[in-house]
Amino acid sequence: MPESSRLLSADTQDEARPGGRAPDSVSTALERAAHAECQCQKCASRDHDEWNAGARGETPLQRVDRAYGEILQEVRVAQTGVQILFAFLLTLAFTSRFASVTQFQRGIYVLTLMLCAAAAALLIAPASFHRVVYRRRLKHHLVRIASRLALFGLVLLLLALISALLLILDVVIGLGPALFLAVGALGWFVTWWFVLPVWSRIRHQAFAGHVPDEPDDGL
């Protein structure tokens, strides 16, 4: 029997049972039945809270604390790459050979520098966001925003790395081979950074036949 039918039947039995709970209105019963069948984010979050309570012994607050700590650890890994690349780009403009680069190479350099700066801004943003909303009881919201900031920051970091690779290869071996190798490097990065985890996520959901153990907001 569908879940909605069971709930409506249970409501009817409770109303008829002596000493049972107070009868619900028809609209309330329908709302509860629809809530049982929906796959909204609120329901999924409640399911994950129950799963974490049973598997990890975590409360919802402990869960978001753990999620935010995991995001910060991931951001630290990405920030190392951003800092090294950004430092290299900032010093590159003051070298003697930089004056002899072509106009195209200058454009690639400016693009790479701006992508790197944008990536650094997004990867540092979770710390700034946390400081601004500190003690405002917005930890759930903080985790959702920090997760998206980290993901977009990784995308910008990927583009900055490929752009920097194109610049260096253009100077060393020429534009044609540089474009070919840069496209290959882009496919390599995308495969291991995004395609593999997305494929693993889809495969896990297909085999499990239910909502994944962790929700989309990283909690």
- Alpha carbon of 191 to those of 7, 178, 204: distances in Å? 46, 20, 18
**The pLDDT value given to residue 95:** 86
With a cut of 50, which residues of the chain have pLDDT below it?
1-24, 28-30, 33, 35-37, 211-213, 215-216
**The pLDDT value given to residue 109:** 94
**The pLDDT value given to residue 4:** 45
pLDDT (tens digit per residue) in 132-190: 988 877 888 889 999 999 999 999 999 999 999 999 999 999 989 999 999 999 999 99
> Amino acid identity of 203?
R
> Amino acid identity of 89?
L
Say if CB 2 and CB 34 are below 8 A apart: no
pLDDT (tens digit per residue) in 157-168: 999 999 999 999
CB burial of 85-111 (b: ≥16 within 10 Å; e: otherwise) equals bbeebeebeeeeeeeebeeebeebbeb
What is the chain's percent helix, strand, coil content, to nearest 5?
80, 0, 20
